[in-house]
Structures are given as structure tokens and as C-alpha cells.
Chains A and B, each alone.
Chain A
């Protein structure tokens, strides 16, 4: 449905050339919810604007529904207003001088072949009912709340029944509660209409909860692409591991490689741990990553593999969970446990880390060494 090949875009900022997008490629099949995730300045919005036609790439090829809309080789550039793509902007971009109806009707009225008035009215009504704003049609745009503006923007993007929908951080200007509601609603809506959706966000929770697949971008390139579980469970490197959720890092050395269904053994500062999937040979230096919620904590012994003794230093009650900062053989480790557990600070406890949750990754990683290098680090 959407095919992006080797997309490149440079900017000159303050006389310096900045490569905003350096050769990004991806393929999105019809009906998929695909997310471009990354920190600010990673090139995700630039990529989206290139797909929309708002910015002209410096190289590559973009195909929407088997039609080439941009190709540097064939020198094809289809302007934005002829691509027929729906888009919701971060600021919503609701025109303040029009009513809700006029805003939503705009794509129908101002395209090349115009529709009959009655049909425009019908389709605007249909689009507004999709976002449950039928009664607001005649309201001037400045009279809308943030959430309502967001819905109008969505209705405007959907009214021309596009095959491709682009969403540029559409939830970032909503308050936390509304944002959570809209996540599910938005996904449900586009899934029901079977619209291929490209979603841009810097919020990993949004990406994980809404997407079919995620591409994590850094400095204009895709670092890892895959289903939410894949990115969460098997991050390729420390950047991916740290960007998607919190994680404990520690340095380690493989003492026994995995073979014949037997678990590998990795020696770390907190002890030797058994790990499931290790693509490393014995004697190799690696990084071990453990998510805080995969660590079980209790006062009694587990009497199982990968069991450690620890001292609780700080306990923070968060409502839906409890965060513990612990010390294991002088190294600090963070765990996320049930809020009802009977764990208090300064207590001595036992930890259990299931081998399938011990993520082993190659040690050399220049990009994110800032965060991932040292022992016992936690990245938010």
C-alpha cells in the first residue's frame, strides 16, 4: 500500500548541512497501523511530511497505492494537493475562520472535481458521526475544546475516504486522561474503516498500544522495525531497549554458550545468570538487560534458577505498581512489583529473574553508549 524506498532529506540550518532523513525504507501493507517512533529530531515528522508532499525529499522513492508520488530517479513529484492522502496535524490546524462543517467540507469542495452540494452535506455528516460530533456542525471552530478540535481534524482527514491516513502526534496536545481514551478509540476507528495509517509519535506507550508495527528512528535512520512485542522483548541494542520502556543494564561475559536446548550462562556483577537466547560465544563480552517488571521480589526464597539476594533501598508507591530500588552485591537494580506486596525499605529480599527475560545484546554500541555502558543503569 505504502512503499518508501531509500528516502533522503537534508536541511541547511545555520549554514550547516543536517541530514534529517538518511535512507529510510519501509513497506506498509493495506490496513496496517504503522508507527514511526523516535526522539525529537530523529526525522519522523520529516519523513511523514515527505509522504504527504509537504516537503520535497532529496532522494528516494515513495509509492502510494501502486502510484509513484515521488521518485528522484524518474524525476516525479506529485504535489500534496493531488495525492489524496488524509492527514491530522500536531496542532490540528483547524481553520479558525470557518465552522466545523466548513472545515470538514473543505477537502470535498476544493478538490479538482467538485461534488454536488447535497452529497457534500451527506458525507460531512457521515464523517462527523464517525467522530461523534454531528451536533457540532454549525459551531464556529474557535468554540471547540482541544479534544473536539482533534476530532474535527480527524473527520476532515477521513471525509474524502483516503486510502492512506497520516497522523502527526495527534494526541500530544490532549490532557493525559483524554489521551488514553483516544488511543484505543483512534485505533478502533481506523481499523474498522480499514485505512492504512502512518502514525508519528515520540511516546512509546502510544506506539506500543496502538501499532501493528513500529519503526524506531534515530538520527534519520530506522534502528529497528517490528511488532510492539518484538521491539519490547528483543530490543536490538541499548537505544531500542532504553527508548521503549525502562530497563536495567549491566555488563557481562558469556561463560557458556547455549547449545542443545540448554541455557546459556552469563557472568555479571550481580551474579551468574541463565539466559534463553544468546547469539554469542563463550568468553564474549555482552550487555545484559532486564526490564524492571520482569523481576519478581519477595521475602522468602524462590528456590529456583536465577535467584539473587538483595537489600531494598527505596520503595515508591505509584498506585498501579510499586517501584523498588535495590542493591545486589553493590550494584543497584530497579524492579516494578505489585503495589500490594509487603515490601518495605531496608528489608532484605530475594529476587527471581526468569531466563527468558534476560535480554543479551552485543556490547559494542557507539550510538547509545551514553546511557547503556555502565553497570546497573536504568534508562527511562
Chain B
């Protein structure tokens, strides 16, 4: 046999070396990086909070004085109360709306399901900052278009709604939760055996009784899980309280923490900020723990299996018109009005409510003058760099994490898995403050504070949880034999990785990249917290124009940001379609 590849043991055999091999070194590297990115900011924050003067003069003198001071502070309890009420309203609204739509789309014969499905997901494309601005333009007591319109109607003045209130903040945040909670609860309903409902029907229960006595109790653990998840999300939310609440003096925990780290006048007291951060971390830690318990119990719920069921739909009959009207109202308030008012404000030289008279003053000049803003081009360039670099780094790191977790036999792989997931449980703003303190401390050895790179670090840490989940799931789906086959065919580790593994996870990588990019594009919290003159990005520009009361410019920038997001979503949609086509082939 002329071609049989054989190599004598003396020449090419690889002799066994004790212990340390390449995968272990690699895994150790990944773990070190994760510990540095995730644990170091929290550790230094804890240290700074118990050493009030350490950051200024390096003196270490452990004291709980900051905590004692904070606990005696009435502001703390005011902020806690506000956060709690705000979170309660937002999560209840988000989950009730999400559950209603999930039931309508999964379990009834509602018409136009595809359109409604796509429209339901649309609000997730609008960044929170921009969403909040749109609602100010609609429902502010002075400039809000809807309120002005109501004032012009006789007797409707009492219908005016003040968006700059806890209830208003809660509603805006709640509307932002609908896409996510809808998807979560729809998944729960899809995994629920419709025979259980049919059995109730057969036993003589009507639609109402079936929903109340069977569907709801069975879906309850899932709905409760979604509820706690969104309660946690709402208490760490910063954008909406900052735009709606702060101007009228309503502070929540996240905004308090922000202004402790970045006061409007005067020097920051980072040790105080660190103390607020630790308390915040504790509160959210307790909630995450409860969430984990609830979700675990849900998994042991027997009626919900992983099996797919063919959905059995209920006939709505005449109620379908009511359901459609309900959906229409929701879309008008949650999507149509906000988008229209943003467009309207961006083509008006100064903010005036929509009217026939105002049509004459429509001008697109702001889309030209935006380029003459001193740092627009700079911010746009920075935003693009930030999106590309942080999405790429996030996905590469997530791929590495997935490889260690799924493919290596390193003993610490469970720890790597856990570490990569922890940022999900840490409020963004706490992470931001931690990174701020860490890189101010490291300013001599790792001088990235104040540059674009600290934003990259912040984004990677924030997005690694989701991205690593995607990559781990995708790696688990790749049969190990596909890689072993390459080894048997003569490919070494690198060739196997390059020609087989990376090609097989490519769709997941692309998908995750775009999803990360969309989120980076709309993130305000970390850029705002770590902002200096040198790393301005688009959301910062929107924020500062809005603070300068330049509504036209702020909304023009908002429209540009939304368009950028839509372009990214367009790509995402195409990738998903291509993957589905390929999956379809494999099934065929």
C-alpha cells in the first residue's frame, strides 16, 4: 500500500508528559481572565467600601463606617421604596401583557398571528433611553403631545397623565418587558400538554373555567419565574428612571448609585458609591437566589415536558374582535406613538405638538446639522468600533468558554461555566462602578480608564453570560464523533478545530455576534458611567443633547440609532433564516 501513512514511534511518537497539557493551560488562562473581569471589580469594590480613604491615600483601615452611614440615611430607604414600587408595577404590567399575548398566540385562533408576533418583538429593538425620551414627548405634563391634545378637548383635562411619576416609569419599563416575557411564557405554554386542557373541556368546563382552573395553575411556575426575572431586571434598570424620574426628584437605587459615582457637581465619592454598590449587589443577589429556586422547582413540574405538542387552539368566536382591538391599542401605545413622535420631533426645529399648523415647519435640517455637532462623527465611529470589537471579543471568549465547558476534561470546567454566567446576576451599574474603581486603581499598569477600551471591557463582561450560554448550547449539539472523525482522518488539533468545529458553530457565532451587537448599540449605563471626553458614543450624545433640552437633535440621533439597530436585526433575521433552512435540510 503505497499511501498508508505510518510513522515510527521513535520519530514521531509524542511521549507522555506528566500532568500539564495544552487544554489545561488554555482552561487556566480562560479562568484567570474571567476571574479578573468578574471577581476583581467586585472585590475591589468591597475593599473600597470598607476602606473609605484607601483610594485617595492608600491607607487601609477596615471600617464599616460607610455602611453605618448608609443605613442611617433616609435616602437609602426612600430609594429602596421607590425601586420596589417601580419594579412591582413594571414587572406586573410586563408579565400580565406578555402572558395575555402568549395565551392569545399559542392557544387561541386569533387572526394575523404572524404580524402580531413580529410587532410584539419590535419594541426590543428600541433602546431604553430612546423609549423613555419618546414617552416624555408623549406624556410630559408640559410638552407631552398627548397631554396637550387632551388639554385642548373640553373636559378631558383630568385625563392627562404624568409620565414623570413612579407609575409612569413603571408603565414605560413594563412595556419594554413585553417582548421578553411573551417569549418566556409562550415557551412554557408550548411545552404544556394541551390534552390537560382538553380534558377539562370534556369534563364540562368552559373557556374561562379551563383557563382559570387548569391553564393558569399549570403555567404558574413558569409565569412566576418570568415575573421574578423581570422584577430583578427592573430594579437594576437605569435609563428609564434617569430620564423620567431624576428630573422630578424621584430616585431609585440605580440612579442613586450612579450619582454617587458621578455627581453632577463636585468630586465623586467612590467609597460611598462602592458601599451603595455592595448593598445593591446584596439585594439583587437575594432575588437571584429566589429566582434560581423557583426556576428549579419549575423544572421538576411534571406536566411540563420537553416534548413538543401540536397546539390545540380555542375558538375565540366574537371575542376575537375584542382581542384584536386589545392588540391594536397595545401596538399604538407601545410602538406606533413612540416611533411617530420621535420622527416628528426630529423634523421640527423646536418641540411642538403635532398639528396641521406645525406641518409647515417640517424641516430635515437636523439630519444635516447633526454632522456639524462637534463630536457626532467621532461618536459614530466610536460606536461602530465599540460594536465590532466588543461583539467579536465577546463571541471569541464565549467560544473559548464553551470549548472548556463542553470539550475539555479539565476538572474546573464547572467553575468556568458558573463564572461566565455570574455577570447575569450582577446589576449592570454595579459592575460599571466596580470596573471604574478597578481601572482607576490600575491606571498606571493598565491605562484604559477613560478610553474606548474600558467600554469594550464593560460590554464584554455584561454580554458574556448570554453569549456563553448560546455557545455552550451550540457546542453540546455538535456530536463529539464529528471531531473525532477528523482526528482519525489525520487532522491535528488545530486543523480539526479550524475545518470542523469552528465551521459547525459558525451559525451560532454569527447569531450571537449580531445579538451582542444590537445590545451594545443600545447600551447607555456603562458608557455613561465610564464616559470621558475620549470615548463618546452615540447613546452618550443622545443623553447629553437631551439634557441640554435639544429635543430635535436628541430625537434625530435616536432615529439614527434605531435605524442602525434595524440594519443589525435585518442581518440577524437573514442568518436565522439560513440556519433554519439548513436545519430543515437535515431533517428532510
| A52 near B488: Cβ-Cβ < 8 Å | yes
- Say yes or no: A106-B1 contact (C-beta < 8 A), given A76-B9, A93-B481, A97-B503: no
User: Looking at A81, A161, A163, which has the most chain B CB atoms within 10 Å of its CB?
Assistant: A81
Among B2, B484, B490, the residue within 8 A (CB) of A111 is B490
Cβ contacts under 8 Å, A227 to chain B? none
| B9 near A107: Cβ-Cβ < 8 Å | no
| B9 near A75: Cβ-Cβ < 8 Å | no
| B491 near A81: Cβ-Cβ < 8 Å | yes
| A143 near B488: Cβ-Cβ < 8 Å | no
- Say yes or no: A75-B16 contact (C-beta < 8 A), given A65-B6, A67-B8, A112-B5: yes
Nearest A residue to B411 by beta-carbon distance?
A12
Q: Which residues of A in the span 70-115 have a Cβ within 8 Å of any Cβ on B?
A: 71, 74-87, 89-93, 95-97, 106-107, 110-112, 115
| A140 near B9: Cβ-Cβ < 8 Å | no
- Say yes or no: A78-B586 contact (C-beta < 8 A), given A54-B488, A107-B490: no
| A160 near B7: Cβ-Cβ < 8 Å | no
Is residue A376 contacting chain B, with contact meaning CB distance below 8 A? Answer: no
Is residue B12 contacting chain A, with contact meaning CB distance below 8 A? Answer: yes
Interface bits B465-508 vs A (CB < 8 Å: 1, else 0) = 00000000000000101101111111110011001100110100
Is residue B4 contacting chain A, with contact meaning CB distance below 8 A? Answer: yes
**A91 to B482 Cα, complex, angstroms:** 9
Chain A interface residue count, CB cutoff 8 Å, equals 48
In the complex, the number of residue pairs spanning A and B with C-beta atoms less than 8 Å apart equals 127
**A75 to B5 Cα, complex, angstroms:** 22
Among A67, A85, A112, the residue within 8 A (CB) of B488 is A85
| A160 near B5: Cβ-Cβ < 8 Å | yes
**A52 to B483 Cα, complex, angstroms:** 13
Nearest B residue to A63 by beta-carbon distance?
B9
Is residue B203 contacting chain A, with contact meaning CB distance below 8 A? Answer: no
Nearest B residue to A79 by beta-carbon distance?
B14
**A19 to B505 Cα, complex, angstroms:** 34
| B488 near A87: Cβ-Cβ < 8 Å | yes
Cβ contacts under 8 Å, A80 to chain B? 484, 487-488
Is residue A265 contacting chain B, with contact meaning CB distance below 8 A? Answer: no
| B482 near A93: Cβ-Cβ < 8 Å | yes
Is residue A29 contacting chain B, with contact meaning CB distance below 8 A? Answer: no
- Say yes or no: A81-B492 contact (C-beta < 8 A), given A89-B481, A93-B481, A110-B486: yes
- Say yes or no: A142-B586 contact (C-beta < 8 A), given A84-B5, A156-B489, A163-B1: yes
User: Looking at A87, A92, A93, which has the most chain B CB atoms within 10 Å of its CB?
Assistant: A93
Is residue B312 contacting chain A, with contact meaning CB distance below 8 A? Answer: no
| B490 near A93: Cβ-Cβ < 8 Å | no
Expressed in whole angstroms, the minimum distance between the Cβ of B587 and any Cβ of chain A is 9
Interface bits A118-160 vs B (CB < 8 Å: 1, else 0) = 0000000000000000000000101100000000010011001
Is residue B582 contacting chain A, with contact meaning CB distance below 8 A? Answer: yes
Among B2, B13, B491, B499, the residue within 8 A (CB) of A78 is B13
**A106 to B484 Cα, complex, angstroms:** 13
**A52 to B485 Cα, complex, angstroms:** 10
| A78 near B12: Cβ-Cβ < 8 Å | yes
Nearest B residue to A75 by beta-carbon distance?
B16
| B485 near A84: Cβ-Cβ < 8 Å | no
Is residue A242 contacting chain B, with contact meaning CB distance below 8 A? Answer: no
- Say yes or no: A77-B490 contact (C-beta < 8 A), given A82-B5, A110-B499: no
Is residue B3 contacting chain A, with contact meaning CB distance below 8 A? Answer: yes
Is residue A338 contacting chain B, with contact meaning CB distance below 8 A? Answer: no
Cβ contacts under 8 Å, B482 to chain A? 93, 95
| B8 near A77: Cβ-Cβ < 8 Å | no
Expressed in whole angstroms, the minimum distance between the Cβ of A123 and any Cβ of chain B is 8
Expressed in whole angstroms, the minimum distance between the Cβ of B427 and any Cβ of chain A is 36
Interface bits A281-313 vs B (CB < 8 Å: 1, else 0) = 000000000000000000000000000000000
| A78 near B484: Cβ-Cβ < 8 Å | no
Q: Which residues of B in the span 495-543 have a Cβ within 8 Å of any Cβ on A?
A: 495-496, 499-500, 503-504, 506
Is residue A36 contacting chain B, with contact meaning CB distance below 8 A? Answer: no
Among A96, A140, A156, A163, the residue within 8 A (CB) of B504 is A96
User: Looking at B5, B491, B496, which has the most chain A CB atoms within 10 Å of its CB?
Assistant: B5
Is residue A53 contacting chain B, with contact meaning CB distance below 8 A? Answer: yes
Is residue A68 contacting chain B, with contact meaning CB distance below 8 A? Answer: yes
Is residue A69 contacting chain B, with contact meaning CB distance below 8 A? Answer: yes
Cβ contacts under 8 Å, A166 to chain B? 488
Among A49, A65, A87, the residue within 8 A (CB) of B485 is A87
Cβ contacts under 8 Å, B586 to chain A? 96, 142
**A166 to B488 Cα, complex, angstroms:** 10
| A54 near B491: Cβ-Cβ < 8 Å | no
Is residue B310 contacting chain A, with contact meaning CB distance below 8 A? Answer: no
Cβ contacts under 8 Å, A75 to chain B? 15-16
Cβ contacts under 8 Å, B495 to chain A? 110
Expressed in whole angstroms, the minimum distance between the Cβ of B206 and any Cβ of chain A is 47
**A95 to B12 Cα, complex, angstroms:** 28
Nearest A residue to B486 by beta-carbon distance?
A106
Interface bits B563-588 vs A (CB < 8 Å: 1, else 0) = 00000000000000000001001101
- Say yes or no: A77-B1 contact (C-beta < 8 A), given A97-B504, A142-B585: no
**A293 to B488 Cα, complex, angstroms:** 43
Nearest B residue to A87 by beta-carbon distance?
B488
- Say yes or no: A77-B479 contact (C-beta < 8 A), given A111-B490, A156-B489, A161-B3: no
Q: Which residues of B in the span 219-276 have a Cβ within 8 Å of any Cβ on A?
A: none
- Say yes or no: A161-B490 contact (C-beta < 8 A), given A76-B13, A76-B15, A142-B582: no
Q: Which residues of B in the span 3-37 have a Cβ within 8 Å of any Cβ on A?
A: 3-9, 12-16
Cβ contacts under 8 Å, B16 to chain A? 75, 77
Is residue A162 contacting chain B, with contact meaning CB distance below 8 A? Answer: yes
Among A82, A90, A92, the residue within 8 A (CB) of B7 is A82
| A91 near B481: Cβ-Cβ < 8 Å | yes
| B488 near A111: Cβ-Cβ < 8 Å | no
Expressed in whole angstroms, the minimum distance between the Cβ of A68 and any Cβ of chain B is 5
Q: List the 7 closest pairs (A to B, CB-CB), nearest first.
A: A111-B490, A93-B485, A107-B489, A84-B5, A93-B481, A80-B487, A142-B585
List 13 interface pairs A-B (beta carbons < 8 Å), by A numbering: A67-B7, A69-B13, A75-B16, A87-B488, A91-B479, A91-B481, A92-B481, A110-B499, A142-B586, A143-B588, A156-B489, A160-B489, A166-B488
Q: List residues of chain B with CB under 8 Å of any chain A CB.
A: 1-9, 12-16, 479, 481-482, 484-492, 495-496, 499-500, 503-504, 506, 582, 585-586, 588
Beyond A95-B504, A142-B588, A161-B2, 9 extra complex contacts between A and B, CB < 8 Å:
A77-B16, A81-B486, A87-B485, A89-B481, A95-B500, A97-B506, A110-B495, A140-B585, A142-B585
